[in-house]
Amino acid sequence: MTESREQVRARAEALADWHTELMEGLVELRERHGLTQDDVAKRMGVSQPAVSQLERAEANPTLLSVRRYALAVGARLRTEVISDLEPVHVAQPEGSRSWTTPRTVDSADVSWGRAVKDTVYT
């Protein structure tokens, strides 16, 4: 599949928006749970400035860092990737628990019919 620069750029922007919304949701959850950045840093085994950097929209954390942050604030992430051709589901680890209050974050590149959906479970 060959994509134009505009199509790639639009998809990249949609993914960046998704990341921003995801991190905003996790920070909101941290605050709702009454946790400080220092509390989260101790739970993650990192410094408070590292947590501050992770929370900033311009940061480019690894998926592992985001998952560790989510765990530290009392959440887990479930990601679903949908391609143009067929859905690909990322399975939860065996024995993982279910949560009942999801907050869904969605971003989509409508021109390509692609969507990335992430649900933060609290």
- Give the whole-angstrom CA distance, residue 20 versus residue 8: 18
Q: What is the CATH number of domain 5-121?
A: 1.10.260.40
Judged against a pLDDT cut of 90, whether residue 78 lies above it is answered with no
Domain boundaries, the chain: 5-121
- String of b and e for 3-32 (b: at least 16 CB within 10 Å)? eeeeeeebbeebeebbbebbbebbbebbee
Most confident of 28-42, 49-63, 82-96: 28-42
- pLDDT at residue number 25: 93
Mean pLDDT score across all residues of the chain: 75
- pLDDT at residue number 44: 96
- Give the whole-angstrom CA distance, residue 20 versus residue 91: 23
- Give the whole-angstrom CA distance, residue 61 versus residue 19: 10
pLDDT one-digit tens code per residue, 79-112: 777 664 444 455 555 555 544 334 443 444 333 3
* pTM reported for the whole predicted model: 0.63
